[in-house]
Structures are given as structure tokens and as C-alpha cells.
């Protein structure tokens, strides 16, 4: 079985224009994600899907492969499907890795790939992790996911779900990686939306409301998605703090 990883990357983000090219330790954000995808077990080919010449140029400069997609496509997954069709090659599994996940671990991608290869009965797979920082629970840019007893997604929200009235319930943060069986991915572009996905600005809700189940795996490490410039600034501060802490430990 062959697996394609696609990184949908737009320059004209309303919340953070130019986000894929934002610099982190001397590299564009999209390069960090591309390197994680390239190192992931089971991935045979990695491409960036973009509608912008600036991203196209940056990806070529670091040695990546780019597919140009229609700027009017409504979502990242629509761009992934368009990239698959443009390549015209027989991939069995396709992984959508959001280009704003610079801390994505290759093993998380590899686990999603392994799931989709070994469980062809599962239409989709994704990943989540516990919240490491309580303040992040209340951040609307940190997407929450609620699971059923089989580890399948019941709902995604920017709000704090579930509402914990009494006791304790583990809240889980969704990570921006989706694995698809090829046939399922190609079904998605024409699917209707009730407006739920647009209300939350979460494309995965269109999948759920059209009856496509998603199995949710545990993510490796402490992934940190970036939606806004304030998320980016917080990511850089957190990265610097961890680097300083590591340096201090090594100097003891």
C-alpha cells in the first residue's frame, strides 16, 4: 500500500496572513511540518498543496514538492483531494497534515498511517492528546474533541466540551492530522454542510454530520497548533523557555 502526505498551506489566512512562511528557528513553519511528514514511518511521498506563489517558492527552496490548487477551494481537505487528483497516482491512503502544526511528531503521523493501512474498514483516523496547560483549555484556538467508547470522535469544538459540572473528566486537544482511505477522501468535496462546520470554523464537523466516523489515536509528544499571531508568539516563547531549561540542566 502507498501513502501520500499532503500539507494544505494558504498564504491568505484571515487570522494570520502568511502563516506558513512564519519563521521558527530559521525555517518556515511549513518546512517544519514537511520535515516531520518526510520522517514519518509509512509515508511514501510528501507534497505541499498551495494556491500562492510565495509558498511555492519557499517550498522549492528547501527541496520540497508543491502542487498548485484552486484558491477558491473551501477547505484544507478539498485542497488535499485536489492534490491527489492532480498527481494522478494510485495512493491507497492519504494523510492531511495541517501546515500550522510545527511541533507535529513523525510518530503521530506514522501511527495514523499504520491505522489506515491495517484497518481498511475505518474511513478516517486522526489524533488527540490531553491538555498539558489548563489555560489552553479555554483558548478557542485549541480545539477540543469528545470520544465515544470506541475512541471515535463524537464532536469537535472550540468551546470547552464537555461541560464538567461535577468531578473530573479528561479533556482532549485535537491535533491537525487526518488519515483517509483514498475512496473516502474523494467523496468529501461534494458533501454538503449544514452550517455547523462554518459556525465553529472546523471542517471536520462536515465529515461527522455526513456520517463519516473518525477513529482518534493518542498523539506523541506535546503538539502545539498555531492559528493566530498570538499563538505563534506563545509558541516561540514556550520553545525558548524549554530550550533555556534544557541548557540549564546540561550546565549543572
Query: Which of these, 173, 100, 165, lies nearest to 133 by C-alpha position?
Result: 173
93 closest CA partner among 120, 72, 74, 66: 120
For residue range 66-108, list pLDDT tens digits in order. 999 999 999 999 999 999 999 999 999 999 999 889 999 999 9
- State the CATH class of domain 3-250: alpha beta
pLDDT-derived band at 19 (thresholds 50, 70, 90) equals: very high
219/229 Cα distance (integer angstroms): 24
Distance CA 207, CA 47 (A): 23
* Burial classification of residue 38, based on how many CB atoms lie within 10 Å of its CB (0-12 exposed, 13-18 middle, 19 or more buried): middle
Average pLDDT, the chain: 93
C-alpha 11/C-alpha 9 separation (Å) is 7
Give pLDDT tens digits for 126-174. 999 998 887 889 999 999 999 999 999 999 999 999 998 888 888 999 9
In contact, 109 and 219? CB cutoff 8 Å:
no
What pLDDT score does 167 carry? 83
Amino acid at each position: 500500500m502507498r501513502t501520500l502526505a499532503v500539507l494544505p498551506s494558504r498564504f491568505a489566512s484571515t487570522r494570520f496572513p502568511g502563516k506558513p512562511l512564519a519563521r521558527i528557528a530559521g525555517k518556515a513553519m511549513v518546512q517544519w511540518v514537511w520535515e516531520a511528514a518526510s520522517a514519518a514511518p509509512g509515508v511514501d511521498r510528501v507534497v505541499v498543496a498551495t494556491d500562492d506563489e510565495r509558498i511555492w517558492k519557499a517550498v522549492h527552496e528547501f527541496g520540497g514538492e508543491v502542487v498548485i490548487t484552486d484558491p477558491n477551494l473551501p477547505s484544507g481537505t478539498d485542497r488535499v483531494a485536489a492534490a491527489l487528483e492532480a498527481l494522478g497516482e494510485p495512493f491507497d491512503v492519504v494523510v492531511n497534515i495541517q501546515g500550522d502544526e510545527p511541533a507535529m511528531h513523525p510518530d503521530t503521523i506514522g501511527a495514523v498511517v499504520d491505522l489506515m493501512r491495517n484497518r481498511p474498514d475505518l474511513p478516517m483516523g486522526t489524533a488527540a492528546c490531553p491538555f498539558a496547560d489548563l489555560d489552553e483549555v479555554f483558548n478557542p484556538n485549541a480545539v477540543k474533541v469528545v470520544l465515544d467508547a470506541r475512541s471515535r470522535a463524537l464532536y469537535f469544538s472550540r468551546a470547552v466540551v464537555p461541560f464538567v459540572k461535577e468531578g473530573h473528566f479528561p479533556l482532549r486537544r485535537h491535533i491537525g492530522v487526518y488519515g483517509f482511505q483514498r475512496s473516502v477522501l474523494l467523496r468529501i468535496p461534494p458533501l454538503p454542510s449544514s452550517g455547523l462546520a462554518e459556525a465553529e470554523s472546523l471542517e471536520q464537523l462536515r465529515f461527522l454530520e455526513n456520517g463519516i466516523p473518525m477513529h482518534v489515536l493518542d498523539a506523541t509528544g506535546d503538539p502545539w497548533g498555531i492559528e493566530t499571531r498570538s499563538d505563534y508568539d506563545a509558541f516561540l516563547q514556550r520553545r525558548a523557555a524549554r530550550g533555556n531549561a534544557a541548557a540549564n540542566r546540561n550546565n549543572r
